[in-house]
A and B are shown apart, each in its own frame.
Chain A
Amino acid sequence: MSPYAATGIIMVVIGLYAAMTRKNLLRVVLGLSIMARGVPLIFIVGGMQTGTMSAAQSIVITIIVIEAVTVAVALSLVVAAYNHNKTLSITALRRLKG
């Protein structure tokens, strides 16, 4: 496995870890963002290995667009949550359960 691919997978794991442990909403969103940066790396590696770099590039650009939209929506929801109870803590998001 090339170091680039390893880096990509490590970034995905970091993002997942952030979602599991961070209590701050913004950090969770940052975790998502890191995850979404890791996966394109693997596409790039794949493009290099299989000699289809042009395709890989277009894929990566599309992923970045999707990721940007997702993060924008996420941030707007975070703002809405903050406006409701003036905190970014995840523990405030526990009213719906059972």
Chain B
Amino acid sequence: MIPLIGWLNERAMKWYTVAASFVTAGLAVSLFFSAGGGEFTRVWWIPGIDASVGIHLTGVGLYVAVVAACVGALAILYSIRYMEPREESYGPTRYYFLTLLFVGAMIAESMADSFLFLYLFWELIGVCSFLLIAYDYRRSRARDAGLKAFVVTRFGDIGLLVAVVTLWTAMNRIGAEDPFSIGGTIQAALAGQIPHHMLGIAGVGFIAAAVGKSALFPLHIWLPDAMEAPTPTNALIHAATLVNAGVYIVARTLPMFTVLPWWLPTLVWIGAISALLTAILALLERDIKHLLAFSTISQLGFMMAAVGAASVFASQFQMLNHGIFKALLFLAAGAVIHTTGTRNLFEMGGLRRSMPLTHITFAVGAAALAVFTLLNGFWFDNAVFEALLVNGHTIPLVMLVLAVILTAIYAFRMYWLTFAGERRSETEAADAPWQMAVPLVVLAVGTVIGWLYVGRLAAHLGTVLVYHDIPPIVPGALLQYTFNTALLALGGVTILALVWLGMRWSRHGSPVPEEPRMWADLVTDTKAFGDWLWGLPVVVMRAFAALISLGQTGDLNYNSLWLALGFIAVLVMLLGWG
């Protein structure tokens, strides 16, 4: 029931950490299968403001918790070898402590039935991510990236805090016994007890929070910079914890806002724009980790659009799948970087022979990413489209379809550049040691078979989500249905085109198209765009600071003058109002 507590008071003995993480993962999974209609525990935390710490196993939360626990455990196992060269200079204690805290906070957040508690862990995740991204503190880029990630996500947090406190106020006004309870708040909202303007404020707040945390447009700028973190941390941030929190929170509070007509379409638009924009950026990127980062944003865009289409199930299933295959891709990419020592795609290539295991697992991940055949990504995207079509969002739908096609293209571009063709650098390359290999294999297997559980998951969600509307889904029927849709044709065409392209490229031995490089520099210098969005407010802020600083002359006469002026201003204002 309380695996999270085990997470929090951890010391850094590495294997102990690994054991703890696997035990937690096991507990989380067993919870997942055993929990029925949502277990419920509640402890008073701050009697002064009637705040309690409730633990409520909702379906949505469990998904997040399971993904976080499993991927977290695998990533920690992987870290043992990956982090070895750095340990001497940086100290592993900090790393393992923070990683555990990170995953633990995510699990706690996903299970909390208290907005205050949720917000607390939400920010704790932010703190951990800052400290983990800046882990490599000798490089100033890592430190700056940590700062950037922290500050940008905190912009989203403004919204969440306002939303949480507004709902608290509203619940207090109707005299609720436990004003922070999420379930209670949803009930009250559905019963129409919360005034619409307050609900509107909260709705805006939750969207802002999700956009910041999930790195959606226009707050996506921090995620590529966050690539300065150690690779296992990237896997955690991208697949398991940080970014999923944003999707989780809108999915969790979705029923509350169905009364607001503008809420769902906003989510769809944000999701669609993010998905398409970052898919384009991913296509042009040369750094493998940055590419994966953009791909994450793109995938999160899909999830957000799915929530916006009121298809919570679709978004949750996507989250599960994405968590698995993105972790796989990151860890595999980490293995590649570990041996080749470069992150530039154009310096890799031909690793197929020297790293067979990594090659296969990476291919599985890339295929999944590329909406390939029966793997879960493919199945899932259809579900989103279905939901969107039903709700009649045509333009976002077109954008999403485009994004899917681009996803397939960039996934294969990445794969070809890395593993196919000839070696383009002289470095030695070999498969990773077993601590790194095991997570890869497990994740690859998970990617292949994960979708088989769809029926079970749907049934489970239907029972535990009291306030969401989840239709029961039977795998067989669904499969049949999927293959009957027109989208199958689209998928088929894409696959054929890609296979043909791939074969052509491998036959001609030139998997490196030169043109995209030029595009990359011409069309959109991704770094410059992000820097502009980030830099402008900072410049404005600094300019104001310089201006105000001029007033601090240090001269006693001026100080007295300020005092007299202050008095006159106060007097005039008081008399004016009086």
A-to-B contact residues, CB < 8 Å: 16, 19-23, 28, 90-91, 93-98
Tell me, rounded to whole Å, the shortest Cβ–Cβ distance linking A14 to chain B.
13
Tell me, rounded to whole Å, the shortest Cβ–Cβ distance linking B33 to chain A.
63
Whether A95 pairs with B554 at a CB distance below 8 angstroms is: yes
Which chain B residues lie closer than 8 Å to A93 at the CB level? 554-556
Q: Would you list which residues of chain B between 528 and 578 have a CB under 8 Å from chain A?
A: 549, 552-557, 560-561, 564
Given known A-B contacts A16-B560, A16-B564, A20-B561, A94 and B555 have beta carbons under 8 A apart = yes
Which chain B residues lie closer than 8 Å to A28 at the CB level? 556
What separation, in Å, do the CA atoms of A90 and B555 have in the docked complex?
7
Whether A90 pairs with B560 at a CB distance below 8 angstroms is: no
Given known A-B contacts A16-B564, A98-B549, A23 and B557 have beta carbons under 8 A apart = yes
What separation, in Å, do the CA atoms of A95 and B557 have in the docked complex?
14
What separation, in Å, do the CA atoms of A96 and B553 have in the docked complex?
8
What separation, in Å, do the CA atoms of A50 and B109 have in the docked complex?
65
Instruction: Please count how many residues in chain B sit with their CB below 8 Å of the partner chain's CB atoms.
Output: 10
Which chain A residues lie closer than 8 Å to B555 at the CB level? 90-91, 93-94, 97
Tell me, rounded to whole Å, the shortest Cβ–Cβ distance linking B562 to chain A.
10
What separation, in Å, do the CA atoms of A84 and B549 have in the docked complex?
27
Whether A97 pairs with B557 at a CB distance below 8 angstroms is: no
| Top 7 A-B pairs, shortest CB-CB distance | A97-B554, A19-B560, A20-B560, A94-B554, A90-B556, A98-B549, A20-B561
Q: Would you list which residues of chain B between 342 and 365 have a CB under 8 Å from chain A?
A: none
Can you sample 17 A-B contacts with CB below 8 Å? A16-B564, A19-B556, A19-B557, A20-B561, A22-B557, A23-B557, A90-B557, A91-B555, A93-B556, A94-B554, A96-B554, A97-B553, A97-B554, A97-B555, A98-B549, A98-B552, A98-B554
Tell me, rounded to whole Å, the shortest Cβ–Cβ distance linking B553 to chain A.
6
Which chain B residues lie closer than 8 Å to A98 at the CB level? 549, 552, 554
What separation, in Å, do the CA atoms of A79 and B552 have in the docked complex?
25
Extra contacts, 12 of them, besides A94-B553, A98-B549 (Cβ < 8 A), are: A19-B556, A20-B561, A20-B564, A21-B557, A28-B556, A90-B556, A90-B557, A91-B555, A93-B555, A93-B556, A94-B554, A96-B554
Tell me, rounded to whole Å, the shortest Cβ–Cβ distance linking B252 to chain A.
47
Tell me, rounded to whole Å, the shortest Cβ–Cβ distance linking A89 to chain B.
11
Tell me, rounded to whole Å, the shortest Cβ–Cβ distance linking B202 to chain A.
42
Which chain A residues lie closer than 8 Å to B553 at the CB level? 94, 97
Complex: chain A residue closest to B558, CB-CB: A20
What separation, in Å, do the CA atoms of A20 and B567 have in the docked complex?
14
What separation, in Å, do the CA atoms of A70 and B554 have in the docked complex?
22
Complex: chain A residue closest to B546, CB-CB: A98
Which chain B residues lie closer than 8 Å to A20 at the CB level? 557, 560-561, 564
Which chain B residues lie closer than 8 Å to A23 at the CB level? 557
What separation, in Å, do the CA atoms of A22 and B561 have in the docked complex?
12
Total cross-chain contacts (CB, 8 A)? 32
What separation, in Å, do the CA atoms of A16 and B557 have in the docked complex?
10
Which chain A residues lie closer than 8 Å to B552 at the CB level? 97-98
Complex: chain B residue closest to A16, CB-CB: B564
Which chain A residues lie closer than 8 Å to B564 at the CB level? 16, 20
What separation, in Å, do the CA atoms of A80 and B552 have in the docked complex?
24
Q: Mark B379-397, 1 if CB is under 8 A from A, else 0.
A: 0000000000000000000
Tell me, rounded to whole Å, the shortest Cβ–Cβ distance linking A23 to chain B.
7
Which chain B residues lie closer than 8 Å to A90 at the CB level? 555-557
Which chain B residues lie closer than 8 Å to A21 at the CB level? 557
Q: Mark B145-167, 1 if CB is under 8 A from A, else 0.
A: 00000000000000000000000
What separation, in Å, do the CA atoms of A95 and B554 have in the docked complex?
7
What separation, in Å, do the CA atoms of A57 and B199 have in the docked complex?
61
Which chain B residues lie closer than 8 Å to A91 at the CB level? 555
What separation, in Å, do the CA atoms of A50 and B556 have in the docked complex?
39
Tell me, rounded to whole Å, the shortest Cβ–Cβ distance linking A10 to chain B.
15
Most B-side CB within 10 Å, residue of A19, A28, A93: A19
What separation, in Å, do the CA atoms of A23 and B554 have in the docked complex?
14
What separation, in Å, do the CA atoms of A67 and B234 have in the docked complex?
65
Complex: chain B residue closest to A18, CB-CB: B560
Which chain A residues lie closer than 8 Å to B557 at the CB level? 19-23, 90
What separation, in Å, do the CA atoms of A91 and B557 have in the docked complex?
9
Which chain B residues lie closer than 8 Å to A19 at the CB level? 556-557, 560
Complex: chain B residue closest to A25, CB-CB: B556
Most A-side CB within 10 Å, residue of B549, B553, B557: B557
Tell me, rounded to whole Å, the shortest Cβ–Cβ distance linking A28 to chain B.
7
Tell me, rounded to whole Å, the shortest Cβ–Cβ distance linking B546 to chain A.
9
What separation, in Å, do the CA atoms of A86 and B433 have in the docked complex?
74
Which chain A residues lie closer than 8 Å to B556 at the CB level? 19, 28, 90, 93
What separation, in Å, do the CA atoms of A96 and B556 have in the docked complex?
11
Which chain A residues lie closer than 8 Å to B560 at the CB level? 16, 19-20
Complex: chain B residue closest to A90, CB-CB: B556
What separation, in Å, do the CA atoms of A20 and B560 have in the docked complex?
5
What separation, in Å, do the CA atoms of A28 and B564 have in the docked complex?
15
Complex: chain A residue closest to B556, CB-CB: A90
Tell me, rounded to whole Å, the shortest Cβ–Cβ distance linking A37 to chain B.
18
Tell me, rounded to whole Å, the shortest Cβ–Cβ distance linking A22 to chain B.
8
Which chain B residues lie closer than 8 Å to A97 at the CB level? 552-555
Which chain B residues lie closer than 8 Å to A96 at the CB level? 554
Which chain A residues lie closer than 8 Å to B561 at the CB level? 20
Which chain B residues lie closer than 8 Å to A16 at the CB level? 560, 564
What separation, in Å, do the CA atoms of A21 and B558 have in the docked complex?
9
Tell me, rounded to whole Å, the shortest Cβ–Cβ distance linking B560 to chain A.
4
Complex: chain B residue closest to A95, CB-CB: B554
What separation, in Å, do the CA atoms of A93 and B553 have in the docked complex?
10
Complex: chain B residue closest to A22, CB-CB: B557
What separation, in Å, do the CA atoms of A22 and B560 have in the docked complex?
11
Complex: chain A residue closest to B549, CB-CB: A98
Which chain A residues lie closer than 8 Å to B554 at the CB level? 93-98
What separation, in Å, do the CA atoms of A89 and B564 have in the docked complex?
22
